[in-house]
Chain A
């Protein structure tokens, strides 16, 4: 009897080691790019993010080492239900390992819960909500490219530093707008600036004239646009018609991407200030990536911060997989290892990942060039200030992430 037990134990142990061996040699990975391919955020994310993911697969050099990596794409149409169902199906059926991109905060947060439940890996570059590394953080998630706190804080503090010390806000009248205004106000007052007032146009306002006039008469040096999407575009266009920037006031966008500037055109967007963590013309690394990216894009667009973030996050993911010698398909383990490894890529340079899942890298305050300063297509930004990585994002002691309380 004893012998039977010990032999079966031995057999079991052998089986275990065999299976763990099989694990170690499992060199496959499946990437799910989930974003908006046809709607509001299609230019910021969309096909560009898919391309960025494919480029990351090619540049990782894992194929030469015998890896098989597959990229699948889904359009969540900005609806959380659809996003959740796609991701569930990806995990249950298609054995996807990692979800990247995912713009629109409601979808981004909904997917966050599913990935945690399925123990996958979630590298979000598309959503702005700082909740992803704050109250709703998850051990399976890394929030990669940017967040609203970083945008507000970066723009607020850097603008004050470069002389814009009195502010007036045009705030979209809902939670998102108020959060942006609050974070920016904190940054402005912390740097010794002053907020002179704010107006709250309702969401999807068509006519900003009365709000802009109030902003103009406030004589504030900076007018902060705490809004997003169509509201931002409309308010910038109308501000240009009112000659606000020509009148000496500065316009600060709190959520802008290069695709927005491209759509507005330099004559309208000139003089606008905002923060981004990536610009194609920052250094040799970003230029080489962006040129290759642009060549392969059908509409010859330069990569946005989000698309570059997708590339950067996957490069780090592949590096980690390579270092682990195989894909264990265990999301927790992989994310832990990713957090423990310092990041280094051509997009964001050297960086780290905080325990709450926040990826750290420098942010930059840009000003949009005047048409005569621009040397060619996509030459849009002037670098005004650099915000170092350790100051750009939510400080750890202010993060409400439950993961931080374990230790």
Chain B
């Protein structure tokens, strides 16, 4: 595991001020997006994936645990929220609670199994568990197999915000994203986060210092899974469907890619990565059969020229942490 993290993660001095400024710029940009010509649904989609990747990054970038099964949290929360909204007719806020709770419960169960191993074994266990779940969702009637749950009503959040209006939905998703982002920020900048980083750098030493590393890892895993679930629940309102794509292993791969392109172990990297990847999927769609070729070329260029990811390279250049 250390071989991956050593080179990729910049560890210059952290300055809270830089991060504050970057956060302010990001929030300001996102707040004015609907006023510009950018298509809001694209930004909403990107925000959901940004939150998802941030949650993933919490685990790999700060805890050194590469999960290859984060799609299971995204998909589980998505299916549960979708089912709660469509079949049980719950309000949006309760639907989100159902989805997030399901993802949290799932992360407790899978976490207890997965954190017993490290490195590639951890990745394989999470992949295996998520594949297990994929086949469960393929078979269970409530997910409607490969048809997915379709035409999910968006409803009115807290009885106040009509989510079928794109502008309202946009700000609700943005609020959700910001909330998730701040939770992650808080977790990283707490004593808990410091211990996590210690575990990432050298677990035996952390153990020798008296930390019960398993508990820290499990907590980080649960936090990451729950927030990934939150992203999945939000995505239901944007896409209005929940399908097998969200639990497929290639989705887990996409999450890894987003984080790598943006910058592993950087606070803002996953956000940038999400916008890059989602923009590629959306805006290259017009190129027809060339989409995958162009994507491939871009990835090769990424790997060859900026291995730290977009934000990682910027942070390295300015010798700051972002």
Report how far A136 CA is from B144 CA in the complex, Å: 13
| Stretch from B3-11, B95-103, B235-243, B300-308 that touches the partner | B235-243
Report how far A45 CA is from B150 CA in the complex, Å: 23
**Is B292 part of the contact surface with A, judged by Cβ < 8 Å?**
yes
Of the candidates B138, B147, B240, B290, which one forms a contact with A113 in the assembled complex, judged by CB atoms under 8 Å apart? B240
Report how far A285 CA is from B281 CA in the complex, Å: 39
Contacts of A86 in B (CB 8 A): 282, 285
Contacts of A235 in B (CB 8 A): none
Q: Is the CB of B138 within 8 A of A81?
A: no
**Is B42 part of the contact surface with A, judged by Cβ < 8 Å?**
yes
**Is A109 part of the contact surface with B, judged by Cβ < 8 Å?**
yes
Contacts of A79 in B (CB 8 A): 245, 281
Q: Is the CB of B45 within 8 A of A85?
A: yes
Contacts of A109 in B (CB 8 A): 147-148, 150, 241
Contact with A along B277-301 (1 / 0, CB 8 A): 0000110111111111100000000
Please name the residue on chain B nearest to A50 by beta carbon: B288
Q: Is the CB of B240 within 8 A of A85?
A: no
Q: Is the CB of A81 within 8 A of B148?
A: no
Contact with B along A44-71 (1 / 0, CB 8 A): 0011001000000000000000000000
Q: Is the CB of B285 within 8 A of A203?
A: no
**Is A202 part of the contact surface with B, judged by Cβ < 8 Å?**
yes
Q: Is the CB of B288 within 8 A of A105?
A: no
Which of B145, B241, B281, B282 has the most chain A CB atoms inside 10 A of its CB? B241
Contacts of A84 in B (CB 8 A): 239-241
Report how far A357 CA is from B58 CA in the complex, Å: 49
Q: Is the CB of B240 within 8 A of A75?
A: no
Which secondary structure dominates chain B's binding surface?
Answer: helix
Q: Is the CB of B146 within 8 A of A106?
A: yes
**Is B204 part of the contact surface with A, judged by Cβ < 8 Å?**
no
Min CB–CB distance B162 → chain A (angstroms): 14
**Is B317 part of the contact surface with A, judged by Cβ < 8 Å?**
no
Please name the residue on chain B nearest to A81 by beta carbon: B239
Contacts of A39 in B (CB 8 A): 292
Q: Is the CB of A80 within 8 A of B288?
A: no
Contacts of B150 in A (CB 8 A): 106, 109-110, 112-113, 136
Of the candidates B45, B144, B147, B287, which one forms a contact with A75 in the assembled complex, judged by CB atoms under 8 Å apart? B287
| Stretch from A173-181, A188-196, A321-329 that touches the partner | A173-181
Of the candidates A47, A74, A81, A129, which one forms a contact with B45 in the assembled complex, judged by CB atoms under 8 Å apart? A81
Min CB–CB distance B83 → chain A (angstroms): 16
**Is B151 part of the contact surface with A, judged by Cβ < 8 Å?**
yes
Of the candidates A76, A82, A89, A176, which one forms a contact with B146 in the assembled complex, judged by CB atoms under 8 Å apart? A176
**Is B233 part of the contact surface with A, judged by Cβ < 8 Å?**
no
Q: Is the CB of B148 within 8 A of A110?
A: yes
Contacts of A125 in B (CB 8 A): none
Report how far A106 CA is from B285 CA in the complex, Å: 18
Of the candidates A93, A110, A113, A174, which one forms a contact with B145 in the assembled complex, judged by CB atoms under 8 Å apart? A174
Q: Is the CB of A176 within 8 A of B285?
A: no
Contacts of A47 in B (CB 8 A): 288-289
Please name the residue on chain B nearest to A39 by beta carbon: B292
Q: Is the CB of B285 within 8 A of A74?
A: yes
Contact with B along A109-131 (1 / 0, CB 8 A): 11011100000000000000101
Report how far A89 CA is from B43 CA in the complex, Å: 12
**Is B169 part of the contact surface with A, judged by Cβ < 8 Å?**
no
Q: Is the CB of B151 within 8 A of A175?
A: no
Which of B147, B148, B239 has the most chain A CB atoms inside 10 A of its CB? B147
**Is B104 part of the contact surface with A, judged by Cβ < 8 Å?**
no
Contact with A along B123-160 (1 / 0, CB 8 A): 00000000000010011010011111011000000000
Q: Is the CB of B240 within 8 A of A73?
A: no
Q: Is the CB of B39 within 8 A of A93?
A: yes
Min CB–CB distance B189 → chain A (angstroms): 32
Q: Is the CB of B245 within 8 A of A38?
A: no
Report how far A37 CA is from B286 CA in the complex, Å: 10
| A38/B289 contact (C-beta < 8 A), A93-B39, A113-B151, A129-B147 known | yes
| A82/B281 contact (C-beta < 8 A), A72-B286, A89-B39 known | yes
Q: Is the CB of B241 within 8 A of A176?
A: no
Q: Is the CB of B147 within 8 A of A105?
A: yes
Interface residues of B (CB under 8 A from A): 39, 41-42, 45, 135, 138-139, 141, 144-148, 150-151, 235, 239-241, 243-245, 281-282, 284-293
Interface residues of A (CB under 8 A from B): 37-39, 42, 46-47, 50, 72-82, 84-86, 88-89, 92-93, 105-106, 109-110, 112-114, 129, 131, 136, 173-176, 202-203
- List 5 A-B pairs, Cβ < 8 Å: A74-B286, A75-B285, A106-B241, A136-B150, A174-B139
